[in-house]
Copies of this chain bind each other. A is one copy, B any other.
Amino acid sequence: MPGLSERIERFFEELPPLLSGVEGMVARGKAYRKALCEAGLAGLDVPAGYGGGGYGPPAKALFAKLSRGRIPAEDDIFTIGLGMALPTLLEFAAEHLRRRYVEPALRGEEIWCQMYSEPGAGSDLAGLQTRALRTAGGWVLNGQKIWTSRAEIAQFAICLARTDVDAPKHKGITMFVVPMDQPGVTVRPIRQITGACEFNEVFLDDAVVPEDHVVGEVNGGWPVAVALMQNERSAIGSGGGRRPVPFEKLRDLVHDRGRAADPRVRGDLADCYIGQRLAELLSELEAESVDAGTPLGAETSLGKLWRSTNGRAAAALVGELAFATGTAWQTGDDREDWAYAVLDACALSLGGGTDEVQKNGIAEKVLGLPRDPYRTDKVPFRDLTVGTQRD
């Protein structure tokens, strides 16, 4: 990769003027991507034929290293598209789809989201109920998706839907590319317990998908989804996504609230440090294992479990210190941010697979403990009870 380092360096040096004056999250995100693409630095590990750099993983790692702390925050709007949708398209989609969609995604001209979870299909994603029917004019989708980040700005989605209700649940699912800008797609933001809206619900009412926009085989969507989720879990386990309150902020809070001599607070702070440091070290070990050629296993779940533990511990400490004198505040008080942090931590044991699901995975896949004897693998989907059964 001769000269790559220099090109990356130069790009980031020249970046600020290119973005100056560009306002708004989407506009700034797109401007950054465009510049990156024009510098020949977008999708370094994507084959050149699809608009990428055609380098291998080392180039990607080099870019990650040199770009640390220099990428504008607005590039986050492409994380799902480039981190999840694009690898899926490259690995599983037909050539005409890759030709059509990969390069515009790399250039930031089209934003993607993914539509997997449903109100009735969370931990048991394979229980999803969104139906896709093949018609003369293409596929018609009906159903409801949930936890869809970026749906409000995305032009396309990769989306799982049920194409055969007579098959067992894993065998009747298909992956589609769904155009979002159509009357059959309605996006509604979900307000979270923090008050913020990170996610959306997406309602599909006779949403239309071209006949040839199937990714992989019809009724063969499940293995595609599994590959994707493994990436997602690893990303969450090793650094991506939501984080507990960082130790340094906890330490400063202890000082700030004058509790640095309180032995119990000191002990709790030490435990917060231990949890966060061990999570870092495990992720360092995991990276070393991967470099040494050991494939990623369910052990990545450990990082996820540590985040839950660390999130809970940090929330408990913050709850006790930040609100020691009172639990109400004027706008601008630091308690406002601490309250957000305490509430937000609740998601750490839920998003990306609950703690319970992670522990099942460790027990079965790493430790070899037997699966639950009650299985529904062979029951036709139409005979399964799924979702929330309120009268």
Contact = CB atoms under 8 A, between A and B. Distances in A.
A3 interface: no
Contacts of A373: 374
Contacts of A264: 263-264, 267
A374 B264 CA distance: 45
A372 interface: yes
Contact residues of A: prevailing secondary structure: loop
Contacts of A374: 372-374
Interface in A156-200: none
A264 B262 CA distance: 10
Interface string A232-267: 000000000000000000000000000000111001
Interface string A377-388: 000000000000
A374 B267 CA distance: 44
Number of copies: 2
Contacts of A372: 374
A61 to B, nearest CB: 45
Interface in A360-391: 372-374
A374 B262 CA distance: 51
A267 to B, nearest CB: 6
A374 to B, nearest CB: 4
Interface string A45-60: 0000000000000000
A301 B263 CA distance: 36
A267 B264 CA distance: 9
A42 B267 CA distance: 56
Contacts of A262: 263
A52 to B, nearest CB: 49
A374 B373 CA distance: 7
Contacts of A267: 264
- Among A262, A267, A373, max chain B CB count under 10 A is at A373
A112 to B, nearest CB: 39
Interface in A285-334: none
Interface string A256-288: 000000111001000000000000000000000
A259 to B, nearest CB: 12
A64 to B, nearest CB: 43
A264 B268 CA distance: 11
A103 B186 CA distance: 81
A372 B374 CA distance: 9
A262 to B, nearest CB: 8
A269 to B, nearest CB: 13
A113 to B, nearest CB: 35
A374 B370 CA distance: 14
A372 B372 CA distance: 10
A373 B375 CA distance: 10
Interface of A: 262-264, 267, 372-374
6 contacts: A262-B263, A263-B264, A264-B264, A264-B267, A373-B374, A374-B374
Q: 4 closest pairs, A vs B, by CB?
A: A374-B374, A373-B374, A263-B263, A264-B264
